[in-house]
Structure 1
């Protein structure tokens, strides 16, 4: 009996160490591509990942922080356009439209704003940016805890991607540590499997499914 318990413990420990090692690899792989906003390389587009809406259908505080950083990149001439990628699969959750209203109200011209309302996940948003919207070079805009995973996916699927942390200069949070650890493992698996996004074609969910 004791032998089985020890074997089970050893297996569990090996699994935990394996998950940790894979997560660390994904976290560190493109970490050197995270730069302060003022040092970000000039790229054609900033890819902004959705992060939910607050009551009233406006961007959540986390999403607003991402949008503010992207607007600053645009206003400073470091990107020419914004690609706003969010999840509009729920008819009562028009995330990308709320994102677009936010940046338009702050002076970004409509001609320089593109919406992807089928960005159901970080992976889907990154793959669709490349295959549907033709993005080859981009600055990714999201919080620091999420940025290493986004950079790993985007660079792995064909985008020359650099990252700007929307929460630059603020204390790091461990709130999402466990979720990100597991999400990084999943990201590596999806990249290796060359998984397809849920909606691999069509620029909006209004397109035929």
Structure 2
């Protein structure tokens, strides 16, 4: 009898633990779903009416190109090259007067802004029109530094279409009157595109948390005159 009683108690405790775990897990999942839905609604509302094509986007002094993967040989990935091509077109069309390339250069051997600069110069963009931000470690940092470090108050943000609402929303919330142009040409890379779309669901939650916390970018630093000089060179 004693063994049966102990077994029953242990079984009962395990059932209680299991039920509580299921409830706790369900609450966590529900909270995550709610956070993603809230973040998605927020970025869509902030970006509404501010996303355009190259031909109809309102002119602005600066194109802010957000960084993406650079290959070990120094060449931009197709996703990044597509963003840079949009910026080149905007400059050629007179939509912008300068291009701010913002990306990750946290390691000596990995330099997104440098690769972006070289790609543009190789395709005829005057070097004096290009400004490099070496501390654009994520979208929030790129937008915050554009405003606080480079003095950008109005810009056309350039990225892929799955990312453009979040980019515009963050820049506008951080004080940059931003419009956006999103690239769709790299949809042909089906798996990377699909993976990026999935990651974006979590990224909107982080974006909302960053805005609510009002955090500083990883590196803020003093004012840099590069954008002003690039605009003056026009």
Q: Match of 1:28?
A: 44
Q: 1:122·1:150 contact (CA, 8 Å) conserved in 2?
A: yes
Gaps of 5+ in 2: 1-15, 225-234
Q: Match of 2:173?
A: 156
Q: 1:116·1:203 contact (CA, 8 Å) conserved in 2?
A: no
Q: In the comparison of the two structures, how many residue pairs are matched?
A: 204
1:105 to 114, 122, 136: 122
d(CA) in 1 for partners of 2:164 and 2:217?
Answer: 19
Higher helix content, 1 or 2:
2
Gaps of 5+ in 1: 205-209
Instruction: Note the alpha carbon deviations across 1:141-189, whole angstroms, 9 max, x for none.
Output: 0001111111111010000000001226957943223311111111111
- What CA RMSD, in Å, does the superposition of the two structures yield over aligned residues? 2.1
Change in Cα spacing, 1:76 to 1:170, as seen in structure 2 (3 Å) is farther
- Return the offset for 1:110: 1.6
d(CA) in 2 for partners of 1:104 and 1:203?
Answer: 25
TM-score, L = length of structure 1: 0.89
Instruction: Note the alpha carbon deviations across 1:111-157, whole angstroms, 9 max, x for none.
Output: 21111111111111110000000000000000011111111110100
TM-score, L = length of structure 2: 0.80
Q: Match of 2:231?
A: none
1:72 to 80, 86, 89: 89
